Structure 1
Amino acid sequence: MKIIVLPLFRLPSGHHKAAEAIIERITCIRPDAQIQTVDLLSYCHESLETVVSKMYMQWINKKPESYSKFYKSFIYTPEGKRNEQMPIHVWDKYFEFRLARIIEKECPDYIICTHSYPSKLLNHLKQLRKMDVPVINVYTDFFVSDVWGKQGIDYHFVPHLEAKKWLSKFHVPGNRIFVTGIPVHPSFEVEYVHSEHRSILIAGGNSGLGHLEKLLDNLQADTLSYTYNVLCGHNVKLREFILSLDHPRIKALPYMNSREEMNRYYEEASAIITKPGGITVSEVLEKELPVFIAGTLPGQEEFNADYLKKRQLIYELTNDRPVEQQITAIIDNEIECNKWKKRIDMYRFEKEHSLETTLVNIFGKESSLIPL
């Protein structure tokens, strides 16, 4: 069996993490599978990917209100304002052509999209009957943007029941939609003996200092009973800023290649402060770690936050009280912790099947296409 997985950028993102998670799940059930990851934009035009990535980062950091308005006008129009498929633009034709060439060359048995743009292109190719390879959408946020291909896509792995109902507005048959949750790598299912060391994890510093600088300034002004481990990734400026604070309870953690190491930090933490990214929040909810939001990037994170706040799965930090006081008011409150865990259980109960079971069922349905 040969599978192509399609993120969009080489830039590390939730789309890549989702791709890696689903690849690992497939490998567990089909060790014989040949799986190829193709970053569509860099494959088609490497220099263009560099420009687009740079422009995107500058846009969301320097003019977040402008990007937010763009996203709400052209990428996701909530409340049912857009009930038709996203139109095909002139530039889509080029990427459609290149994508069709990849499929013709590689002859995959399945294609899995972890980004909306390749899904949109494949949806159009299938509607034109220019390809018949089964396509699976794997959604990486807590909502379904307008860009994702819908009617022409064979299978949809959605985060929750609400997303399944949303897709039904586009006349996608219910038996093609599976509530699997956002994919989480199996490494994060491993449990360790919890350390008695009291620590809070801080994530979300990859794109710049931004809100983290203010957050860390607020923390260092208080008397802290927890150690705050800050995931800096490749962000040199953030790491240098933390070192300049010279605070015994605020630590800078370097980039981690190992999921096992990351899992240990999750296990040792009493809570996490992060942004509402779909993959990160899904990993943390898998660990039953209370989530505190201190800043939201424009675009998809705004809609993720809306959904998560509506379900009361996250807590939002404010500026009117010390940060640690807000955290301990939740995690040291047994009644509130029990209520929060019940809300997590309700979210989990929406899953119809595990990711592995769903994949096994699909591969079985399409067995006539799979060379064993």
Structure 2
Amino acid sequence: MRKKRVLLLSEGFGSGHTQAAYALAFGLRELDPGIQTRVIELGKFLNPVLGPMIVNAYRKTVVKQPKLVGIVYRRQYKKSLNRLTQLALHRIFYTHTSQVINQLKPDLIVCTHPVPNAVVSRLKRLGLDVPLYTLITDYDAHGTWTSTEVTKYLVSTPLVMQKLIDRGIPRQRIEVTGIPVHPNFWHTYDKAEIHSQFGLKDMPTVLIMGGGWGILNSDDLLAHMTEYRDRVQLIYCVGNNEEARDRLLADPRFQHPNVKVLGFTREVSKLMDVSDLLVTKPGGMTCTEGLSKGIPMLFYEPIPGQEEENCEYFVNNGFGEMLESTDTIEKWFHLIQEPYAAVQYRRKLLSKRNQQYNPTQCSRAVLQFMQ
């Protein structure tokens, strides 16, 4: 008997979209090992030279002109990608998408980025007979995600569902599933083993993330955090940004046994387990990973648009706070040094998480369709 196949299409405009696709793929296989999954960043796959160039140009725009990104986001907020735009995308960048789909023969397509979602929607209008699920990977519903050809929307919260309903999407085509995270974030790891693996101490710990795109630039706040290095362990994750890593390592303030500067790592789930506080950009995926671990979060420099919406959701629901000044650092760094207060706060967040989020729900929603 032929195994069921799920094709997950994403794009590399920020790592969260593709991470969500892989997380859903892992979750599906963990629930049903008989399902075959394939994750593709479509633009890069079809255009291995041009695709990364476009992503790099977008990254530079985000870093150097974030206000422009916000203006474009809001200007197009209520608009779906029109048919002329979809046609242009298909002919210029995605000409061979139908060939890929015909070759892989999926029983279901899941898109975790608006662009492949629009491309597949156009193919469905032209006769493609494969169900299309759209997984919205933020805590907002921008118009570019929407299309009449979508079979079902998988969304993060009831608020996002209501935004889609307000745009005329039928309620029965929307399911609140939360954003999937990798199964690594479903588990709790042994802290002693993690301390040994990374050379960490058993002491109050802060995990700082977000330098992969060169946007960990709040030097004054970073410097202020190092003033606690005798009492608080600091772990800086800068991803593949070697320039940022070299800059931090060369700074005497970061040359301390209680300060770790890490490059790219696949062990973020473990680092969250031994951390008492997460300082991060409010990307939809990172926030959901923090939510799954029940770790309090401080958000800095949200990109205008979806990151602002993500930040608003998590702050309003008590999972985090904006990092606006050194006073915020003082407050939280003192809290995590009080063992009882830190443990009680974490328990409160885990209880709230259990009420609002089930890490397997998105995978189960897709699996239910496959059966």
Same fold (TM over 0.5): yes
- Supply the distance in 1 between the matched residues of 2:218 and 2:273 (Cα, whole angstroms): 22
Amino acid at match of 1:354: Q
Amino acid at match of 1:73: R
The answer for the alignment partner of 2:366 in structure 1 is: 359
Is residue 262 of structure 2 the alignment partner of residue 253 of structure 1? yes
Amino acid at match of 2:20: A
Q: CA deviation at 1:281?
A: 0.9
The answer for the alignment partner of 1:153 in structure 2 is: 150
8 Å CA contact 1:16–1:114 kept in 2: the answer is yes
- Supply the distance in 2 between the matched residues of 1:187 and 1:338 (Cα, whole angstroms): 24
SS of the aligned residue for 1:349 comes to helix
The answer for the alignment partner of 1:370 in structure 2 is: none
Q: CA deviation at 1:221?
A: 4.5
- Supply the distance in 2 between the matched residues of 1:236 and 1:242 (Cα, whole angstroms): 10
SS of the aligned residue for 2:167 comes to coil
- Supply the distance in 1 between the matched residues of 2:39 and 2:228 (Cα, whole angstroms): 46
Q: CA deviation at 1:337?
A: 7.8
Is residue 116 of structure 2 the alignment partner of residue 118 of structure 1? yes
8 Å CA contact 2:135–2:153 kept in 1: the answer is yes
Q: Using a 3 Å threshold, how does the CA distance of structure 1 residues 316 and 331 change in structure 2: closer, same or farther? A: farther
1:1-372 alignment to 2 at 5 Å?
A: 1-9=4-12, 13-74=15-76, 77=77, 82=78, 85-88=80-83, 89=85, 90-94=87-91, 95=93, 97-126=95-124, 128-194=125-191, 196-208=202-214, 210-221=216-227, 224-246=230-252, 247-248=255-256, 249-257=258-266, 261-321=267-327, 323-329=329-335, 332=338, 345=351, 348-350=354-356, 354-364=361-371
1:109-151 per-residue CA deviation (whole Å, 9 max, x = no partner) reads 111111111112222333x252120111112111122111343
8 Å CA contact 1:233–1:253 kept in 2: the answer is yes
The answer for the alignment partner of 2:197 in structure 1 is: none
The answer for the alignment partner of 1:367 in structure 2 is: none
8 Å CA contact 1:218–1:322 kept in 2: the answer is no
TM-score, normalized by length of structure 1?
A: 0.85
Amino acid at match of 1:56: Y
Q: Using a 3 Å threshold, how does the CA distance of structure 1 residues 343 and 216 change in structure 2: closer, same or farther? A: closer
How many pairs are equivalent?
352
Q: CA deviation at 1:33?
A: 2.4
8 Å CA contact 1:312–1:340 kept in 2: the answer is no
8 Å CA contact 2:221–2:325 kept in 1: the answer is no
Q: CA deviation at 1:345?
A: 4.6
- Supply the distance in 2 between the matched residues of 1:336 and 1:86 (Cα, whole angstroms): 46
Q: Using a 3 Å threshold, how does the CA distance of structure 1 residues 309 and 172 change in structure 2: closer, same or farther? A: same
Q: Which runs of 5+ in 1 are unaligned?
A: 365-372
Larger displacement relative to structure 2 (322-331 or 264-273): 322-331
Q: CA deviation at 1:183?
A: 0.6
Q: Using a 3 Å threshold, how does the CA distance of structure 1 residues 125 and 345 change in structure 2: closer, same or farther? A: farther
8 Å CA contact 2:179–2:362 kept in 1: the answer is no
Q: CA deviation at 1:36?
A: 1.9
Q: CA deviation at 1:92?
A: 2.3
Identity of aligned residues (%): 23
Q: Using a 3 Å threshold, how does the CA distance of structure 1 residues 324 and 228 change in structure 2: closer, same or farther? A: farther
Q: CA deviation at 1:348?
A: 4.9
SS of the aligned residue for 1:52 comes to helix
Q: Using a 3 Å threshold, how does the CA distance of structure 1 residues 170 and 218 change in structure 2: closer, same or farther? A: same
Q: Using a 3 Å threshold, how does the CA distance of structure 1 residues 63 and 360 change in structure 2: closer, same or farther? A: closer
Q: Using a 3 Å threshold, how does the CA distance of structure 1 residues 146 and 337 change in structure 2: closer, same or farther? A: farther
Q: Using a 3 Å threshold, how does the CA distance of structure 1 residues 350 and 44 change in structure 2: closer, same or farther? A: same
Q: CA deviation at 1:201?
A: 0.5
Q: CA RMSD in A?
A: 2.7
8 Å CA contact 2:224–2:326 kept in 1: the answer is no
Q: Using a 3 Å threshold, how does the CA distance of structure 1 residues 153 and 341 change in structure 2: closer, same or farther? A: farther
1:39-84 per-residue CA deviation (whole Å, 9 max, x = no partner) reads 111123222212211211111111221222122112xx2xxxx2x6
SS of the aligned residue for 1:321 comes to helix
- Supply the distance in 1 between the matched residues of 2:274 and 2:341 (Cα, whole angstroms): 22
